Amino acid sequence: MLNKETSIKLDRSRIDIKPNSYVQYKKSVYKITQILNFDEVVGTNTKTKKAELLPIKDLSSIESDKNINAESISKDINNIEDEEYLEAQRRYKAILPLLEKKLSRQEAVQYSKNLGIHFTTLYRWQEKYKSTGTILGLISNKVGVRKGSKRLDSEIEIIIRKIIENYYLTIQKPSIQSVVNKVLSECKRLNIVAPHSNTIRNRINEVSEYEKLLKHGSRGLAKTKYEPAPNKFEADYPLQLIEIDHTPCDIILVDDEHRLPIGRPWITLAIDIYSRMIVGYYLSMNAPSVTSVGMCVSNAILPKDLLLSKFDINSNWNVWGYPETIHVDNGADFRADAVKRAGLAHGINIEFRPVGRANFGGHIERVIGTLMHEIHNLPGTTFSNIKQRGEYNSDANASMTFSEFEKWILTFITKIYHKRIHSSLSLSPEQQWEEGLFADESGIGFIQKPSNNSSIILDFLPIYERTIQKNGVNIEGLNYYDHVLRTKINQMENGKKKQFIFKRDPRDISYIWFYEETTQEYFKINVANQNMPSMTAWEFDLIKTELKNKGLKRVNQDAILEAREELHKQIEQSVKSSKKARRDSQRLKNKNIELKEQEQRINQNTSINIKQTENNFSKNESFWEDDIPDF
């Protein structure tokens, strides 16, 4: 969480932890000479030439070359135009062979000729990408259509893209030449200088064969050739492929203060397919959404040492870095462009599970099944179904708070799941992870580490676009204000009130982050009512529901505080009632025990009397009915 910082400038650069790479430590530059373990490397100070032990968690990247135009890497992802993203993607695809393969100069020149882009341009793009660590570094200040201005190249790109999507990628299967003719004709109609026909053909060639088959009506062939069979998603090295899925946990949690049931939490898990390591998670009392995906992805990218320290867990979770591809469960609001854009900003391809393809996430579903099986041993478990639960009262037995349950999950992940032998691997996930990184020949080495953790978190936080009024900005009924907003009050753009970018962490909504596009900084804006305590988005939703049930149409700060106080009073009353009910129940139980004991004593005395009578009868020589006197 970012509540200790007051302003942040995004830094999407990466730290390359490998021999001969340069890093920064305590304002000095070091050249890494040896990798010791997950915690330390040996580095040589570039000035003093002395070798030192460097803690990996405190390393940062070297500042970008001053000559490299890297303005876009500090921008908020929603402050970048669509055309800029398209251009960045095009340039990235162009330099991908240079990044993945060591082409000779002759090969690079030939490749550039085939592509229709001069090889010096490709080298320049490659350098910009390497120096910034993100494809956003491929965006220049001059690229893209800004609001209120136009640029010829961008207009041509848009025309080509639309004709490819709306004309070429159709079931009619038009020829490539007809696409070229259509683009040339459209440029002539708009009085725009037309691109070379080879440029248009290059854009067509960038469309994947899978998409061509799919859009041309050959869905069956596309599925046969390119879609993997059930449970066949595999990976050759760590973080090549990640699966993310969500599930309600089979347990009832209680509140921190009164230990009363508050319901079932949801967990979002991310698993590395190569090693089966759990690389990230997000726990919430809210049902899964695009926010859950974003929070889980940021947790997967970031180092986990501070997280384990926060929960006082003496273990390791040496997982961080940028996944290549992430498969995410498909849902109604999961296809959010914001998450895909955030992934793009960090070089991550985020794909969503196709509807009806249950096998798409086979590995993650098995991990979730393992976790739920362990949860069934906890007090307050709901088990998987009614039959399993039987007469077990989940609410009555619930005893774990949200934070206690989160600590239990982290302990299970780091001390049990990661260290147990996995049946499919014949190694533990932790051993397989290390094998993938450090094996003599096949190991890929340390995965690049984020240079700035706050930038990762901010990129994946949920975004809100709002106008700024005299009383600040309102997000879901809460007002936020700071003097930083003064100059933006009622600001107009194109005849309308300008909307600004804000971000909010669902784990603490007592503050938000305001993006100042001029300085490209985020500023922390606290809730206007300073009496408002810290609370989660889930708790705030409960309060709003309570107010709505009372018929209050407009939510205001005072009403929220009153509702929160009333909820606490209700809880206190519930506690008192529960205590009284328990006392009454105990009294009744004690009384029943006493009555039972009395009954046992009576039965015991009666039994003794009957025994004595039987003994007396046995002493008589004869006993006949006629001997009984009449009364």
What are 300-334's pLDDT values in tens digits? 999 999 999 999 999 999 999 999 899 987 654 55
Listed in sequence order, the DSSP H helices in 190-246 are 197-205, 209-215, 219-226
Question: What single-letter DSSP state applies at residue 506?
Answer: T
Kind and range of the H or E run holding 280: strand 278-284
Gap between the Cα atoms of 346 and 73, Å rounded: 10
CB–CB of 544/555 below 8 Å? yes
Q: What are the two backbone dihedrals, phi and then psi, of residue 320, each rounded to the nearest 5 degrees? A: -160, 175
SS3 514: strand
pLDDT at 485: 94
pTM higher than 0.75 for the full model?
A: no
The vertex-590 CA angle with 585 and 591, nearest 5°, equals 95
pLDDT at 385: 60
Domain 150-227's class?
Answer: mainly alpha
pLDDT at 12: 85
CB–CB of 288/333 below 8 Å? no
Gap between the Cα atoms of 599 and 588, Å rounded: 16
Q: What are the two backbone dihedrals, phi and then psi, of residue 241, each rounded to the nearest 5 degrees? A: -145, 130
Strands 241-248 and 325-328: parallel
Q: Residue ranges of the chain with pLDDT lower than 70?
A: 1, 63-72, 82, 131, 133, 140-154, 210, 220-233, 330-336, 353-361, 384-392, 552-631
Q: What's the first-to-final CA gap in the chain, in angstroms? A: 95
Q: Give which of 483, 484, 488, 480 is closest to 508, Cα–Cα.
A: 480
pLDDT at 583: 55
The topology (CATH level 3) of 241-456 is Nucleotidyltransferase; domain 5 (3.30.420)
Distance of CA 372 to the CA centre of its chain: 20
Gap between the Cα atoms of 319 and 599, Å rounded: 66
